[in-house]
Structure 1
Amino acid sequence: MALPNFHFYYWAVNIRCITLWSHFYGRIDCPMWVKMELSSARKGSVLALLGSPLPLPPVEWTDSPTVRHTMRVWAQFRKYFGFCDFSLFSPILSNPLFQPSLSDSAFQDWHGRGIEKFKDLFIDNRMASFAQISGKFGLPNTHFFRYLQARHFLHSQIASFPEATAATTADMFLSFHPSHKGLISVIYDKLMGIKQAPMDKIKTAWEQDLNFQLSNEVWDSILRLVNSTSLCARHSLLQFKVVHRAHISKVRLSHMYPDVDPLCDKCKRDEASLFHMFWTCPSLERYWRDVFQTLSLILNLELEPDPLIALFGTAGEDDMYFTAIKRRILSFASLLASRAVLLRWKDAAPPTHAQWLRDIMTCLDLEKIRYSVCDSNKKFEKVWGPFLKYFENLKSN
């Protein structure tokens, strides 16, 4: 899970070419390969395709297989992130969507005066009047009809007209300066930054279930624990799925298949939402109570059943009151407690406290290996000594 996203890296390599197209278009110092690719369009400008609404126009607009491939990658990127609408960063000149620009040389004059993109027709995110455009770029009054043509075109493309649409990351790439050091890495980081946006929806969904807000610090802690709680890759994957709400509840299943009963198989009373199946089901009440009583005894704390600890292994803002060792035990033990719930996900019977203890005993062998590899056997005794003592007392009783 710590590996780079090779799909995004592949996109970044291709988007780098697009930033070069956009930057060098119409410039004297344009590299030869960029000039060849930009001139490959049979009609209009290759750049016009970049800001066209999806799906993109037919591939016969260009003779170059390289350009066609790059445009396919660009379309994949836009579709994946939902950037499907017309972009104001599209060029005005030689734009097949804006037919007058193909035959009227006046738009070549616009380009020379600095009106290169449709975005240039907006001032303070609002469509400028002809007087404002003329004053800013020095257009003669004879160009008023061309202004009306451009205004009518934008009205047909933008739902918020005369207000400008908010710039997207795709728009930002079209205005990138290619002299950025490590440009591919910069683009990759931007793509990864967009990917984090869906996490806000996941965070909001958990907040609705928990009925309280998660601070950014607590949420970051939850995400970090996905990889740091256990050495076992399967455990990390399990916690990843819990955090990302990847497990299918009966309520969700009933939405997919109308003949599925959304009622919980355990309590047979309430609808089995994700949070219900993990925490609020009455049949799980005793299980979670026993888990927290055991943790309270081992850690010498007064722990009330808490879904934040049970599901994510953190006490949230109260983490500051726990030592690092106690936080470590909480995160590991709660992960195995959630795992026990998932092992009985479809069963009518809830998980048992005894099963949870057996799982911990088994997994402590793995933890011991983890510490011995680091030559930290004494630390293992220090961290897990309370649990080992608890197990010894169980055996003696």
Structure 2
Amino acid sequence: PHVPSDCQREAWAKELHSYTSAELWEEALSRVHSCSINTRYRLVQYKVIHRLHYSKIKLNGIFPVVSPQCDRCSSAEGSLAHLFWVCPQLYGLWTAIFRCFSDRYSRDIQPVHNLAVLGCSTDSLALAPEMQSALQLGMVVAKKLMLLSWKSTTPPSFDHWLREMISVIQLERICMYRLDKRHRYERVWGPFLAQYKIIVQSG
């Protein structure tokens, strides 16, 4: 028999027009509590995976007066997959985020919907654990910013994401140092922060 999480997996697969294996889905579920030390970011990822946010389509089903169209692009219905990934207005942001990780970790990280939405993909699971952690938090931060501009006609900017990342990483640093995980912190975030420090020093 299907359990609720299977229904959610199938709903994401339908909206993203892509198959997500049961194994990858279980991996994504198991990583919710490790995506960040910050409980708020864990909650964001939990709600995304379990489809607990109100999409434009869902709101239209409750209140027919509300248009099901995406507020950003006005060219397609606002499913959860559209609002987090498919919307053409998000293309620039997601492209810049994946390019940022590719540049800073010297790996070719291609934009993939499973990684962006679920927090992991078949390819990302083959990467070093430290890079998997960095990618997962980066994806959660992006989705948090999208939620903050849920009803806006403009998407979050890459600069906003980068500022938020630096802020979040500093909080991760405080918590990980307190837990005597300094070396892990440096392995996870050293490559990301190295270029940022160069920019600051040269500015």
TM-score, normalised by the number of residues in structure 2: 0.94
Please list, as runs of the form range in 1=range in 2, the aligned pairs for 1:1-397 lying within 5 A after superposition: 197-315=3-121, 317-395=122-200, 396-397=202-203
**Cα distance change on mapping 1:285 and 1:320 into 2, 3 Å:** closer
Contact 1:266 1:350 (8 Å CA) reproduced: yes
Q: CA deviation at 1:213?
A: 2.1
Contact 1:312 1:335 (8 Å CA) reproduced: no
Q: CA deviation at 1:320?
A: 4.1
Distance (Å, rounded) in 1 between the aligned partners of 2:12 and 2:40 = 23
Distance (Å, rounded) in 2 between the aligned partners of 1:373 and 1:282 = 41
Runs of 4+ in 1 over 3 A off after TM superposition: none
Larger Rg: 1
Q: CA deviation at 1:264?
A: 1.3
Which whole-Å deviations, capped at 9, do the CAs of 1:37-78 have from their partners, x for residues lacking one?
Answer: xxxxxxxxxxxxxxxxxxxxxxxxxxxxxxxxxxxxxxxxxx
Q: CA deviation at 1:321?
A: 2.5
Q: Which amino acid aligns with 1:372?
A: Y
Contact 2:57 2:77 (8 Å CA) reproduced: yes
Q: Which amino acid aligns with 2:102?
A: S
Q: Which amino acid aligns with 2:104?
A: I
Q: CA deviation at 1:199?
A: 1.1
Contact 2:93 2:158 (8 Å CA) reproduced: yes
Q: Which amino acid aligns with 2:138?
A: A
Distance (Å, rounded) in 2 between the aligned partners of 1:201 and 1:376 = 37
Contact 2:115 2:124 (8 Å CA) reproduced: no
Q: CA deviation at 1:273?
A: 1.4
Q: Which amino acid aligns with 2:109?
A: L
Q: Which amino acid aligns with 2:113?
A: P
Distance (Å, rounded) in 1 between the aligned partners of 2:46 and 2:125 = 24
Distance (Å, rounded) in 2 between the aligned partners of 1:394 and 1:221 = 36
**Cα distance change on mapping 1:262 and 1:358 into 2, 3 Å:** same
Q: Which runs of 5+ in 2 are unaligned?
A: none
Alpha-carbon RMSD: 1.5
Q: Which runs of 5+ in 1 are unaligned?
A: 1-193
Choose between structure 1 and 2: higher helix proportion: 2
Q: CA deviation at 1:374?
A: 2.1
Q: Which amino acid aligns with 1:377?
A: R
TM-score, normalised by the number of residues in structure 1: 0.49
Aligned length: 202
Q: Provide the identity percentage.
A: 34
Distance (Å, rounded) in 1 between the aligned partners of 2:125 and 2:149 = 33
Distance (Å, rounded) in 2 between the aligned partners of 1:244 and 1:376 = 30
Secondary structure of the corresponding residue to residue 123 of structure 2: helix
Which whole-Å deviations, capped at 9, do the CAs of 1:75-126 have from their partners, x for residues lacking one?
Answer: xxxxxxxxxxxxxxxxxxxxxxxxxxxxxxxxxxxxxxxxxxxxxxxxxxxx
